[in-house]
Structure 1
């Protein structure tokens, strides 16, 4: 069984919680997992620790404001910025000791963050996996309108009534929201334990999510609503793997810029998945990811 070490990386006057599974420096690059949200936690991506059994150490962490990292419920949008989380990621790589040899796996918002990081061409970056991520929140918001239009009319009417009234924290809004989530976020019912853990952590302290995203995946009103990484994708200089689900809230329209603008890229679509194919189609997910990691090393 792979060893697990947990700790905290000092970051400014705060701290970032992390977990390392497997042995660092044993010959294979570390896979550093950047979770979604913004404002979620590492929990729903814990399945990736299985990579340690094949020699790739795995680093999970909770981004500032959530999970085991420092919570700052009093901070506003001027504090919660993309640059903050880019700096936190850089700091973590140095603190854990993997900055010279690592692969980034970014999921959802984490994929956008990872793409921006990769565009800076850090010397130690060996590869980039962008999973279930939009390249632009402008595209994302347009596609959310398309997906909402396919919901039952009474469900969308309920959602819009609460969004207009500012009562998105109500139980009725949550029940209507679940219709969308069960179609386009996680199609496994009941939700897997790891996914539910992250969902509950976000609900327990929604400061980051509400500030940067908004009240739900499909009602984006936060500071990221116009943010995009399309302008930097051509600067990514490592082989990239892009993943998405056929039923994903990250629709092909939102994902396509990655495939079109990253110079060395492969795009895999999971036919039976929505936003979390690592949980929805685990066997195929494992095969695709391991094949990519082996290709980075030039091994069959």
Structure 2
């Protein structure tokens, strides 16, 4: 199997990159962005298969139509890539909004999914939940963090005016004070060279993920699930949104990383690596 390449599906060039050895972990999102977040050490214990979805892929179409990126099609793409790469018995991992894709995929295609990892996502992306996260920031963030956010966010409109096609990346960069325990971190290098198809991203985050509720979904799901959260993740916090899984969800392990925001694999790699690897191999 080639360690990197492109799989063409319906005119989308879905790229993949394989790093590491061990249990296969299929990471949904951008094959450029996500390899930058995980440490070299964890890739000695796990084989990461980073794959694009249509929101981050090159397309031969000049104008994307809604039928090109329905949620079901994106889930089917993941399965086609798994089949093409001849990967069986995977751990499916989704971070942030991609947690919804990971869980939906595991529900639709359970045969080759051993475990599910949901990192740094709220249970839903509904407008009500987004308002809860903003209130969490307003009520608990430090004055310095708030000042940093106001300064950075004031630059967003100019960024988007210059590169409207990269609106999602610019927003993520300027939301650093909501995203990191150390709110002085510059996220721009993470997003360098990452393509974004904004109609698809707008649909996923604005419509598809807003209709889903992962706590409701987990109530009828029996595979092992790891929910990883950052205490200072103001993008999708507070972590108490996940409190319902603490009782009656025996297959769900919830871990809160106390010195992380939206990226515990980047901010607390030693703790994150040991915790996730132990859970994947030992269930503990």
Which bracket does the TM-score occupy, shorter chain normalised? 0.7 to 0.9
Aligned-pair CA distance for 1:263: 4.1
Aligned-pair CA distance for 1:233: 1.5
Residue 238 of structure 1, aligned match among 223, 242, 247: 223
- Name the residue aligned to 2:269: 282
Q: 1:225 to 1:110 in 2, by over 3 A?
A: closer
Deviation digits for residues 177-198 of structure 1 (CA, Å, limit 9, x no counterpart): 689722221345343675233x
- Name the residue aligned to 2:83: 94
Q: 1:78 to 1:289 in 2, by over 3 A?
A: same
Deviation digits for residues 196-231 of structure 1 (CA, Å, limit 9, x no counterpart): 33xx625x6534334433xxxxxxxx3236321333
Residue 169 of structure 1, aligned match among 160, 169, 193: 160
Aligned-pair CA distance for 1:260: 5.4
Structure 2, unmatched stretches of 5+, are none
Deviation digits for residues 146-175 of structure 1 (CA, Å, limit 9, x no counterpart): 14535759977x97x999xx999358xx9x
Residue 81 of structure 1, aligned match among 63, 70, 76: 70
- Name the residue aligned to 1:224: 208
Superposition CA RMSD, Å: 3.7
- Name the residue aligned to 2:24: 30
Q: 1:291 to 1:4 in 2, by over 3 A?
A: farther
Distance 2:25 2:2 in 1: 14
Structure 1, unmatched stretches of 5+, are 214-221
Q: 1:121 to 1:206 in 2, by over 3 A?
A: closer
8 Å Cα contact 1:135/1:257 also seen in 2: no
Distance 1:154 1:123 in 2: 46
Aligned-pair CA distance for 1:135: 1.6
**Secondary structure of 1:226's partner?**
helix
Q: TM-score, normalised by structure 1?
A: 0.73
Q: How many residue pairs align between the two structures?
A: 267
- Name the residue aligned to 1:250: 236
Q: TM-score, normalised by structure 2?
A: 0.77
**Secondary structure of 1:74's partner?**
coil
Distance 1:192 1:114 in 2: 24
8 Å Cα contact 2:6/2:15 also seen in 1: yes
8 Å Cα contact 1:106/1:129 also seen in 2: yes
